[in-house]
A = this chain, B = another copy of it.
Amino acid sequence: MSPSPLRVTVWNEFINERVLPDAGAVYPRGIHHVLREALEEQLGAGVQVHTATLDEPEHGLSQQRLDETDVLTWWGHSAHDQVQTEVVERVLDRVWQGMGLVVLHSGHLSRIFRRLMGTSCTLRWREAGERERLWVVAPSHPIAAGLSQEYFELPQVETYGEHFDIPAPEELIFISWFSGGEVFRSGCTFRRGNGKIFYFRPGHETHPIYYHPQVRRVIANGVGWAAPNPGPYRGRSLHAPDPLV
């Protein structure tokens, strides 16, 4: 008897890949398809993946879809403000109920991440095609499982730098070094309500980051870690959020 597969919804803004030729060349079917393949490659029968995009009705995140989602991954970049308030609140409520959330790269400015953090989530950034090294600083954490070296490297990336305006992470798993002089807290966990949240920095619309084996491994680990827990409060709506609070 096998446990039920983890139900993951991969959300993608899906604009850059259709508008920017460089992005379309790297992700012809969209970043969400590559993330789906990555999860299926890493987790096999342990996962069942759906995708959803901004242009679908309700951005593909109907109440039913969210109710049937154990972990949601989030990639957005140029249209954060087009995500409807009602959908943000629906996602928020599901995180509070226990749904896991994995926020990738430029998703740091998404409405849902900023709402959950309570900070501006701003950072310093630069497009310079620099080299990044992700150093493991929490070697016993399940999100670092299967990495065999103290760091892994991405040859060409968009640079992110501190100060990254987030609450102090509950667990800090990766710190990035960039050849241009920046450092960044690249792998951070948080808990909000019954939900677990993992922020992971790597990603870009034109650099082929989501084909990188260690990046794929870490995202799959993060999805596994963020899976809901059958604890005392799971599935209980804490209450409907009001627009501001």
Contact = CB atoms under 8 A, between A and B. Distances in A.
Interface in A107-157: 111, 114-120, 122, 124, 133, 135-142, 144-151
Interface in A201-243: 228-234, 238-239, 241-243
Contacts of A85: 243-244
A133 B232 contact: no
A169 to B, nearest CB: 9
Contact of A230 (B145, B194, B195): B145
B163 A150 contact: yes
Interface stretch (A25-33, A60-68, A174-182): A174-182
Given A122-B239, A168-B171, A183-B176, A163 B190 contact: no
A118 B117 contact: yes
Contacts of A165: 96, 193, 238
A59 interface: no
B192 A167 contact: yes
12 contacts: A111-B242, A117-B118, A118-B192, A119-B192, A137-B164, A139-B233, A139-B234, A145-B231, A165-B238, A167-B170, A167-B192, A175-B175
Interface of A: 81, 85, 88-89, 96, 98, 111, 114-120, 122, 124, 133, 135-142, 144-151, 161-165, 167-168, 170-172, 175-178, 181-183, 185, 190-196, 228-234, 238-239, 241-245
